[in-house]
Structure 1
């Protein structure tokens, strides 16, 4: 495969262990493995709500001579978090005949930006303008691609689903240990998980919220306060961001994983769970459902395979949602047959997850075409 050099422009302000950051890093590794030279360029700024100066600096990067490649030699791919914050610069780039590709991890939510509200955050109109000025679009999930197709009438979108690193089978714990691996952010809705687990104190379990408590310190404080107020300090740990051996140890102890984000394009922690044979509970109506069913098909597979977990309908902010989530987890805790069924489905899924080279090959085929 003829592999052109690639410049990947990524947001410089997302410093916690986000799914987008992991995807970008693994994609670069995969592209290099396929023979492409890859330059990762962090774009400084408060993306997606960047200042005028930060947007101008981004615009200069679109046409700048790379230290490694001459102008026009490399294919430029811009992370969608940057792109939706700079539609003017992308339209200017398109007029010069050098539009970049855009890699969309998460469409702009209908209700506003992902994470804390910020003045000047991108609108659906700025998203449409940015995407239509691109040389082409790559989405990291079919869920995201479908949203953009329905919202903006853009149909020529390539989908490059996240790959998954092979991982050892998690032995789990007794009593069961529940984990949620995600930065503490309002969109991830750790408060909902804490409120649900507060209804299960008559059962044996422990839990850990694994993720940065610095991405939104105010929200992290709310979660911490809720754990204390509901008398769960001996049950639920807030570990902060973990990597390496400490993260591997937390995964090893896990018996069940949860991802109940209000908005989710895919949810890589779901496939990371499945790679370890850990079943997952997700919020229905989000891209995490796609991740839960993500696997390489085999001849003779049923059209409706047993999921390695459950997708629970939960209304964001709904007063009934903690009880609905608690009911699903309670059933899993009390029903050995259900635990065995979910565990078996997770064990099957872990052998069918595509790798990152598959992701990189899909992106390379897109930009070459």
Structure 2
């Protein structure tokens, strides 16, 4: 099967959506599909007329297209026109567009089909737009090295520095735990939102945490792997997550996670007990959960053991790609 994968060109930092798109393309090809990835620049999620024309051009002539929702969900007329001309357009909705519900609803209704990375994300689309029949293709896990941990315990939060990811809340929580032994690292791009990144850095300095809390910038490859191998716990305090691929990455290293209750990251963590979903209304809630973990050796041991067992049961990206390919083939 020939597949054209349309991705946004205006997300230049490391993101879960970007990684999902790349891994999906790679593993669809491993299953025998011919995948052409087309990057469309523009001010997405709702671009200018010229941006939307570039998107329309990318849709033209593609028999089967998977279009990232960041592009497609803000361009319902272009999706409808392409489908009307015989192109099968599947929208890969990583996260609902909270600020553009009307456009998104029309785009989803016009599309041939919709793919989501989690039941949580599919449920949001169903609640917002009544969209049923969404294909859920959960992100896969890659084989990863087993974390050795550190002494004192090392906490990591891997996400671009963005208000939604709530790194300032993490800093405030850790600032209230200076009576305990720990180190931490906030690992993510400073360029996604420079103003917010500056707020994070200022919060670290205000609380005098420079010697214990590193703000590393975006890391990839060996430097990122070193952080994972040294980690004892990962934190994801986002206000919203469609899935939280970093949680799967954490478990693949045998590192338990604390995530925010009510987000898709709870689905990524699962019910195995390799961490905890926490109701986070403020830094005090997160601080309480971290303190309990830091001061209870048996709890740390239990979470670590469960996370280690989880490493061997996580589905791979081949399962993600097979789910998508089966859906596309059935709809051909």
Give, in angstroms, the shift of residue 32 of structure 1: 0.7
Q: Distance in 2 between matches of 1:182 and 1:140?
A: 18
Contact 1:200 1:326 in 2 (8 A): yes
1:275 aligns with 2:252: yes
Q: Distance in 1 between matches of 2:88 and 2:290?
A: 48
The match for 2:209 among 232, 248, 254 is 232
Aligned to 1:19: 16
Structure 2 spans left out of the alignment, 5+ residues: none
Contact 2:8 2:41 in 1 (8 A): yes
Aligned to 1:118: none
Contact 1:90 1:99 in 2 (8 A): no
Contact 2:165 2:239 in 1 (8 A): yes
Aligned to 1:314: 280
Contact 2:45 2:71 in 1 (8 A): yes
The match for 1:103 among 75, 86, 92 is 92
The match for 1:83 among 58, 64, 72 is 72
Q: Distance in 2 between matches of 1:168 and 1:98?
A: 42
Contact 2:2 2:64 in 1 (8 A): yes
Structure 1 spans left out of the alignment, 5+ residues: 64-70, 113-122, 294-304, 316-320
Alignment of 1:211-250 (within 5 A): 211-250=188-227
Contact 2:64 2:88 in 1 (8 A): no
Count of equivalent residues = 330
Give, in angstroms, the shift of residue 168 of structure 1: 1.1
Aligned to 1:192: 169
Aligned to 1:140: 117
Aligned to 1:302: none
The match for 1:39 among 27, 33, 36 is 36
Give, in angstroms, the shift of residue 90 of structure 1: 1.2
Contact 1:8 1:41 in 2 (8 A): yes
Q: Distance in 2 between matches of 1:86 and 1:187?
A: 24
CA deviations over 1:155-192 (Å, ceiling 9, x no partner):
11110000010111100100001000000001111111
Aligned to 2:290: 329
**Does the residue aligned with 1:203 lie in a helix, a strand or coil?**
coil
| TM-score, normalised with respect to structure 1 | 0.88
**Does the residue aligned with 1:45 lie in a helix, a strand or coil?**
coil
Which one has a larger percent helix, Structure 1 or Structure 2? 2
| TM-score, normalised with respect to structure 2 | 0.97
Aligned to 1:117: none
The match for 1:127 among 104, 116, 121 is 104
Alignment of 1:204-215 (within 5 A): 204-215=181-192
Give the ranges of 4+ consecutive aligned residues of structure 1 lying more than 6 Å apart after TM superposition: none
**Does the residue aligned with 1:368 lie in a helix, a strand or coil?**
helix
Q: Distance in 2 between matches of 1:49 and 1:254?
A: 39
Alignment of 1:43-54 (within 5 A): 43-54=40-51
**Does the residue aligned with 1:100 lie in a helix, a strand or coil?**
strand
Contact 1:99 1:133 in 2 (8 A): no
Aligned to 1:346: 307
CA RMSD of aligned residues (A): 1.0
CA deviations over 1:281-312 (Å, ceiling 9, x no partner):
0000000000001xxxxxxxxxxx54111101
Q: Distance in 2 between matches of 1:101 and 1:49?
A: 18
